[in-house]
Amino acid sequence: METPLAKKFEESPELMLAWLLRDINQMTLSQLSQNLACHRLYVGQPRILRLIHDYPGSTQRQIADRLFVSGASLSTSIKRLQKAKLVEQRQSQSDRRRRELYLTPAGER
């Protein structure tokens, strides 16, 4: 007996393709999460580390803008990276109000 979902897939190959792509995405994210867990990282953190590597001395706001996220949502990840001793904040030499982000030697690896 044909299920309602199977019937929809027959009627719309695009729907089936979208469903399969969603499944592939979920499996990929699951595998990525497992691989990153070995390094005690979360899914979004490698991109943050890469941006700090490419733009040392950037502020949290600048990194958030490059990632198209809010500063508040980035804050938790930055704190976790600091706690893991991968990122450090330093006070700017030119503007004492500005906090700049740098990778630590451990974060460079």
Helix (H, G, I), strand (E, B) or coil at 3: coil
Average pLDDT over residues 88-104: 91
Q: What is the C-alpha radius of gyration for the chain, rounded to an integer number of angstroms? A: 20
- What is the extent of the structural domain holding 96? 42-109
Could you read off the pLDDT of 3-44 as tens digits, one per residue?
A: 777 777 777 888 888 889 999 999 988 887 787 777 777 778
> 46 and 66: one domain?
yes
Q: Supply the pLDDT for residue 11.
A: 78
Structure tokens at 44: 């979004």
Q: Supply the pLDDT for residue 71.
A: 86
> 29 and 71: one domain?
no
> 97 and 61: one domain?
yes
Longest dimension (CA), the chain: 73
> 26 and 70: one domain?
no
Whether the predicted pLDDT of 95 surpasses 70: yes
Question: What phi-psi label fits residue 97: left (phi over 0), alpha (psi between -120 and 50 degrees) or beta?
Answer: alpha
> 93 and 51: one domain?
yes
Domain total for the chain?
Answer: 2
